């Protein structure tokens, strides 16, 4: 009898030894004369338990967490292939509290399936939404997306239904779907996890978008820092094409759609939609003026849907299960779920998909278990390098686009980076300006020059030079950048800076890790 063993092939798992664990398991099985089938699945998102290995016993997947290659011998000695007792045994995967408490709408196949098996994907409702769309027509898809209340998960939160409708109604026969997989915000990895764990899911989502708006060509702009995601997605695209799920007349529907995969080249600002379009056209990633919006004049001047990976990947279940079910989740105008990413100094880091409305405290304490260092939480940066640093007193803020705007913060792409009380927040404010200076595309002056001046002013404040005057100057600089920058790079870099001035001003007076 062949035993099924799962070892993730996902960047975080591999980064802490999953490949070596897989090799060790194969070797030990061979030596013991046991027949196993090794499946390299995606990650369930419990990154803190990686490498997380599963073995199928009586149709149940038994999990073992934090397995190092040198643990494999003892696993076999403990009868791991029949679910034997071991210090690292976690029990059935579907009883792990971190996972069962989640509402997996978009990431439900991640971890569950073999990402590169089209059969496995089909068994788990793969392409069912696209088939439904072919049957119901493109108008039904547009209506479902609008009714779901889905908003862009890349950070801007623009209603997806309105964007798709605009492109569908735009003049012209050539239209494009451009998928933004340039996930550059620190603290975020949900796009990567989805691509590595459910690449066919993204392909189906893009085909759905193309069918809905009348586009026959899609582009994925994937950052070059994700080589494993690139390898997995390239394979999946080939397989989909080979099996008639991409290309001419998909499954006899009469609908043509294909996808080109493009790599970024290390520019953060290329995550901004118009800079990304420039880069897709082979140019410098310099931000465009808006209007015209990409929905009217996007890639190569044609109407283009630009959506983030997670936005697109939320659509198949909206089509398949109904917009009402999605809209019933969440709070206020923040409908549905978001894949929160717990990162940085946190004990149980990973991906937690929950409806909007959950508080930061619940995510950080209940799911995350507090800091990795065991020290008190000092600050939490939500939404990447352009997001505010929130003090512990704001942890009860619900995750809701509008609630975050009210406190001068943003949810962004759902990344949550925790800092303990050793963090020097003056240095973090400085880094915000430094990063902007490094990554600014240079088109607008407030961002290009303002960021460099910002670093200088903060350095003077840290050095206790004319602190009052420099404080006023920094505020004025933040005002200028916020009001006059062309895109969010310069326009939101002041968010983290202001939040440090507001909540952690003491760190300018008493730096080097003082939590005063």
Partner 1 sequence: MTHTTIDKASVSAIVSKRGARPELLVQILQDIVMQHGWVSEDVIRQLATELNLSRADVHGVVNYYHDFRTSPPGRHIVKICQAEACQSMGSRELTAHARARLGTDLHGTAGDTTLEPAYCLGNCACAPAVMIDGKTLGRVDNERFDALVSAMRGAG
Out of 419, 495, 504, 508, name the contact with partner 1 by CB under 8 A: 419
Out of 73, 101, 172, 227, name the contact with partner 1 by CB under 8 A: 227
**Burial readout 240-275 (b: 16 or more C-beta within 10 A, e: otherwise):** beeeebbeeebeeeebebbbebbbbeebbbbbbbbb
The stretches of 252-399 forming alpha helices (DSSP H) are 273-280, 309-313, 315-321, 323-327, 360-361
d(CA 419, CA 48): 17
| Residue 417 makes contact with partner 1 by CB under 8 A | yes
| Residue 262 makes contact with partner 1 by CB under 8 A | yes
**Omega into 291 within 30° of 0, i.e. cis?**
yes
In the complex with partner 1, the residue whose CB is nearer, 168 or 183, is 183
Tell me the per-residue interface mask from 47 to 66 with partner 1, x by CB under 8 A, - otherwise: xx-x----------------
Residues 160 to 189 in contact with partner 1, rule: CB under 8 A: 183-189
**How many residues interact with partner 1 (rule CB under 8 A)?**
61
d(CA 127, CA 110): 16
d(CA 453, CA 471): 13
Out of 273, 400, 420, 507, name the contact with partner 1 by CB under 8 A: 420
How far apart are CB 377 and partner 1 at their closest, in Å? 11
Residues 265 to 324 in contact with partner 1, rule: CB under 8 A: 265-268, 279-286, 300
d(CA 209, CA 516): 51
How far apart are CB 282 and partner 1 at their closest, in Å? 4
Tell me the per-residue interface mask from 451 to 480 with partner 1, x by CB under 8 A, - otherwise: ------------------------------
Out of 418, 455, 489, 492, name the contact with partner 1 by CB under 8 A: 418
How far apart are CB 394 and partner 1 at their closest, in Å? 17
In the complex with partner 1, the residue whose CB is nearer, 36 or 441, is 441
| Residue 102 makes contact with partner 1 by CB under 8 A | no
Regarding beta strands 217-222 and 258-263, do their DSSP bridges make them parallel or antiparallel, or are they unpaired? Answer: parallel
Out of 180, 381, 493, 499, name the contact with partner 1 by CB under 8 A: 381
How far apart are CB 469 and partner 1 at their closest, in Å? 29
Tell me the per-residue interface mask from 340 to 369 with partner 1, x by CB under 8 A, - otherwise: -xxxxxx--xxx------------------
In the complex with partner 1, the residue whose CB is nearer, 141 or 179, is 179
Kindly report the backbone phi and psi dihedral angles of residue 171, in degrees, each rounded to the nearest multiple of 5, phi listed first: -70, 155
Residues 2 to 41 in contact with partner 1, rule: CB under 8 A: 11-12, 14-16
How far apart are CB 365 and partner 1 at their closest, in Å? 16
How far apart are CB 48 and partner 1 at their closest, in Å? 7
d(CA 299, CA 296): 10
The 8-class DSSP code of residue 210 comes to H
- Counting Cα atoms < 13 Å in the Cβ hemisphere of 274 gives 19
Backbone region of residue 466 per phi and psi (left: phi > 0; alpha: psi in -120 to 50; beta: other values): left
Tell me the per-residue interface mask from 324 to 343 with partner 1, x by CB under 8 A, - otherwise: -----------------xxx
Backbone region of residue 187 per phi and psi (left: phi > 0; alpha: psi in -120 to 50; beta: other values): left
Regarding beta strands 389-391 and 377-382, do their DSSP bridges make them parallel or antiparallel, or are they unpaired? Answer: antiparallel
How long a stretch of residues is the chain? 516
Cβ-Cβ contacts under 8 Å for 337 (sequence gap 6 or more): 103, 105, 106, 314, 329, 330, 353, 354, 355, 356
| Residue 447 makes contact with partner 1 by CB under 8 A | no
Cα-atom radius of gyration of the chain, to the nearest Å?
A: 24
Residues near partner 1 (CB under 8 A):
11-12, 14-16, 47-48, 50, 183-189, 192, 223-228, 262-268, 279-286, 300, 341-346, 349-351, 372, 381, 385, 415, 417-420, 423, 428, 431, 435, 438-439
């Amino acid at each position: 009898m062949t035993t099924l063993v799962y070892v993730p092939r996902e960047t975080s798992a591999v980064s802490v030894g999953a490949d070596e664990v897989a090799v060790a398991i194969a070797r030990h099985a061979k030596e013991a004369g046991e027949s196993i089938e090794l499946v390299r699945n995606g990650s369930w998102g419990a990154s803190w338990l990686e490498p997380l290995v599963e073995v199928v016993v009586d149709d149940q997947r038994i999990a073992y967490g934090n397995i190092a290659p040198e643990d494999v011998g003892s696993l076999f000695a403990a009868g791991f292939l029949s679910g034997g007792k071991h210090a690292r045994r976690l029990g059935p995967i579907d009883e792990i509290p971190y996972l069962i408490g989640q509402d997996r709408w978009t990431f439900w196949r991640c971890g569950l399936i073999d990402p590169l098996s089209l059969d496995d994907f089909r068994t788990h409702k793969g392409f069912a939404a696209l088939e439904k769309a072919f049957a119901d027509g493109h108008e039904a898809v547009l209506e479902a997306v609008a009714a779901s209340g889905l908003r862009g998960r890349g950070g801007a939160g623009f209603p997806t239904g309105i964007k798709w409708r605009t492109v569908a109604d735009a003049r012209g026969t050539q239209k494009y779907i451009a998928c933004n997989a340039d996930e550059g915000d620190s603290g975020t990895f949900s796009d990567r996890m989805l691509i590595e764990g459910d690449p066919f899911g993204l392909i189906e989502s893009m085909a759905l978008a193309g069918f809905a708006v009348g586009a026959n060509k899609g582009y994925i702009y994937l950052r070059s820092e994700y080589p494993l995601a690139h390898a997995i997605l390239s394979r999946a695209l080939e397989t989909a094409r080979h099996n008639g799920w991409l290309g001419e007349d998909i499954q006899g529907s009469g609908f043509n759609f294909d996808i080109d995969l493009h790599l970024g080249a290390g520019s953060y600002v290329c995550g901004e939609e118009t800079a990304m379009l420039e880069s897709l056209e082979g140019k410098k990633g310099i931000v465009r003026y808006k209007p015209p919006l990409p929905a009217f004049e996007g890639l190569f001047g044609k109407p283009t849907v630009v959506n983030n990976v997670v936005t697109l990947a939320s659509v198949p279940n909206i089509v398949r299960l109904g917009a009402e079910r999605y809209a019933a989740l969440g709070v206020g105008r923040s409908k549905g779920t978001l894949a929160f990413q717990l990162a940085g100094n946190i004990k149980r880091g990973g991906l937690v998909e929950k409806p909007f409305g959950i508080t930061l405290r619940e995510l950080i304490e209940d799911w995350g278990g507090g800091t990795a260092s065991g020290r008190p939480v000092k600050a939490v940066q939500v939404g990447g390098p352009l997001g505010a640093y929130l003090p512990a007193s704001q942890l009860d803020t619900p995750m809701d686009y509008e609630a975050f705007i009210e406190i001068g913060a943003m949810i962004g792409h759902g990344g949550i980076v925790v800092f303990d009380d050793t963090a020097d927040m003056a240095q973090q404010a400085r880094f915000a300006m430094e990063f902007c200076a490094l990554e600014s595309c240079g088109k607008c002056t407030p961002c290009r020059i303002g960021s460099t001046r910002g670093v200088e002013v903060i350095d003077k404040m840290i050095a206790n030079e004319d602190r009052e005057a420099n404080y006023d100057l920094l505020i004025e600089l933040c005002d200028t950048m916020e009001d006059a920058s062309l895109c969010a790079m310069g326009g939101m870099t002041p968010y983290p800076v202001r939040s440090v001035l507001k909540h952690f001003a003491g760190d300018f007076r008493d730096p080097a890790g003082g939590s005063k």
